[in-house]
Structure 1
Amino acid sequence: MIISKARITAIGSYVPERKLTNDELEKLVETNDEWIVKRTGIKERRIARDDEHTSDIGYQAALNLVERYDKSLEDVDMIIACTMTPDFKTPSVASLVQAKLGIKHTGAIDVNAACSGFAYGLHVANGMISSGFHRKILVIGAETLSKITDYEDRSTCILFGDGGGAVLVEYDEKQPSFLSYHLGSEGEKAKNLYCSDLSSCMFEEDIIHTNKFVQNGREVYKWAVTTVPRGIKEVLENAAMSLSDVNWFVPHSANLRMIESICQKTDFPMEKTLYSLVEYGNTSAATIPLSLDIGVREGKVNNGDILLLYGFGGGLTHAGMLIRWNT
């Protein structure tokens, strides 16, 4: 069990207004609602406006947090934005959110671990606060994947959507949230999930250089359904706990069939699993906070509950975390 002095005290979320349904996708590529739902569980996803970017989504999620929990962000001393779709290479999304919020005395950094990003962001925030260097950190998971999605590729365009979530992590040594963690990376498998940019020879063979999202879904699926169950075992052992102690499993909402396979391999009930993909699709670093907030708003997640978060994706990276919910 780790020594933590940090507690998650509030959560908020935001998704763009525009919906992209399976029926609408049928007009863009050779697909249909039955085919998409059968293979992914996704019915629709949200799409950002042309003038709406990741920093806007992160900002709105933070405002939602403030409104619901009556929290002040004026004394936040670090903003961590987890995303693979930043507005710019520089400045960071966190800096842009800082400007929108008007917080003058805060650090601002981005974390790019793709679909594992939010779990990594929480890990960093917990370490910063538990070390004594920080007292109040805003962690955001936000994406505008629609801006890097190839809508001529039916294997990927059916999956991705836009949205964001935010949590406030504060110093609290009496009721810490963080119980254990497990991190991992397999960069040798990176070619199975990427978006090209500066390098044209990242791997032995040439990559597809289109600045659009490229995924070998079959290989990522095989990797996730073997890697995540092993990681879950490590997270629980590190906390000297078992799956029977977990109230809710909150995995990255990549694909419902993938989540079902992970639950089957770990013998964890799907009815105790939270996911956001049915209405929002795969939103990368935003899926876990969106899923968690759905559980909170629906009254499923209650104070004292033990939650198992697990992100996995580009890198290939994965990150698991056991937390006690007590906002």
Structure 2
Amino acid sequence: MTIRAVVRGVGHYLPERVVPNSEFEARLDTSDEWIRSRTGIERRHFAAEGETTSDLGARAAKAALADAGLGPEDLDALIVATSTADLTFPSAATMVQEKIGMRSGFAFDVQAVCAGFVFALANANALILSGQARRVLIIGAETFSRILDFDDRATCVLFGDGAGAVVVEAAKGKGNATDRGVLATDLHSDGSHRELLYVDGGVSTTGTSGHLRMQGNQVFRHAVEKLAETAHAALDKADLTPADVDWIVPHQANLRIITATASRMQVPMDRVVVTVQDHGNTSAASIPLALSVGKERGQIKQGDLIVTEAIGGGLSWGSVVLRW
């Protein structure tokens, strides 16, 4: 008998304010056509004044629990993947824990920027396989609008706010690729590429939150190469091939990256869940958000084989293969 971390429920939340590309035209040398042609992004959501990352995460968490038919008392652990926590400490996860009424178990944050949800899901899988937890709620939540430099057209048009959540629970499997649940994970980081994507502030440096900085061309090159490699590595670990994949659910950073990665994997775009046009890059929230939207659209169904992959600052990157 093999224990697997099986998806029980999924949900998401987006702030009410929708920001179309045209909103940037008044203050920046840019246009809707320029943004669409280079990124595929048409609009994104920004959190309201006073609306925090833990607020977004709690709304997504409640939606995922409702989808799973569970309550907060059924959870053993809660993990929030974020780079934009409400405060330096305590963790956003403990704040979400309080907001959803989870009075037992434990909660903590994972910070791997845009790869955060993949790292958090891998950690949740390890907790379940080790017997430390039976049910884990994993949330990706971000308010990246709070760290954008709105005079930098190369970055401020790319990002949005939102949250997605997934509930996984321990279930018995046969120990082969037909099992539902997480089948393989593959994680990497390389700190020598820190300058390609970072925030120029922090507690022990400037004492401020800082602004996001990115060398877009270099990030693009690393992303296409590393995302395809990690996806292949995870599939190999599960004794599967790209031909077995029903859906790629990638980090939603840029449509050109998504398309190029799918091409390298030889997976057609009609088997890729794409939400970047509506949400922009929501960092750690993008994969769980896309999983929830994919299920809502009727794309993702029970038994489907899914590959998720992401890359973010660090650089940090990785992938998870799971059967829905």
Q: TM-score, normalised by structure 1?
A: 0.94
Give 1:28 shift: 2.4
CA distance in 2, matches of 1:122, 1:156: 27
The yes-or-no answer on 1:252 pairing with 2:251 is yes
- Kept in 2, the 8 Å contact 1:75–1:105? The answer is no
Runs in 1 of length 4+ with deviation above 6 angstroms? none
Deviations 1:254-297 (A, max 9, x none): 00011111112222111110122101100000110111111100
Q: What secondary structure is seen at the aligned counterpart in 1 of 2:202?
A: coil
Give 1:242 shift: 0.6
Give 1:239 shift: 1.0
- Kept in 2, the 8 Å contact 1:29–1:152? The answer is yes
CA distance in 2, matches of 1:225, 1:165: 24
Partner of 1:100: 99
Partner of 1:205: none
- Kept in 2, the 8 Å contact 1:250–1:309? The answer is yes
Match of 1:197 among 192, 196, 202: 202
In the alignment, residue 192 of structure 1 is paired with which amino acid?
L
The yes-or-no answer on 1:186 pairing with 2:190 is yes
Q: What secondary structure is seen at the aligned counterpart in 1 of 2:63?
A: helix
**Structure 2 unaligned residues grouped into runs of 5+:** 174-178
Give 1:75 shift: 2.4
Give 1:199 shift: 4.8
Deviations 1:197-241 (A, max 9, x none): 13549xxxxxxx870111111111011111111112211111111
The RMSD of aligned alpha carbons is 1.4
Q: What secondary structure is seen at the aligned counterpart in 1 of 2:146?
A: helix
Give 1:21 shift: 0.6
Partner of 1:14: 13
Deviations 1:46-98 (A, max 9, x none): 00011001000000001112333432221211110000000001010000001
Give 1:116 shift: 0.5
Equivalent runs, 1:36-47 vs 2, <5 Å: 36-47=35-46
Q: What secondary structure is seen at the aligned counterpart in 2 of 1:74?
A: helix
CA distance in 2, matches of 1:32, 1:49: 24
Q: TM-score, normalised by structure 2?
A: 0.94
Deviations 1:12-39 (A, max 9, x none): 1000000111011111211000000000
CA distance in 2, matches of 1:70, 1:320: 27
In the alignment, residue 289 of structure 1 is paired with which amino acid?
P
- Kept in 2, the 8 Å contact 1:4–1:126? The answer is no
CA distance in 2, matches of 1:6, 1:176: 8
- Kept in 1, the 8 Å contact 2:203–2:209? The answer is no
Partner of 1:89: 88
In the alignment, residue 41 of structure 2 is paired with which amino acid?
I
Partner of 1:177: 181
**Structure 1 unaligned residues grouped into runs of 5+:** 202-208
Q: What secondary structure is seen at the aligned counterpart in 2 of 1:6?
A: strand
Q: What secondary structure is seen at the aligned counterpart in 1 of 2:19?
A: strand
Aligned residues: 316
CA distance in 2, matches of 1:70, 1:179: 24
Partner of 2:238: 239
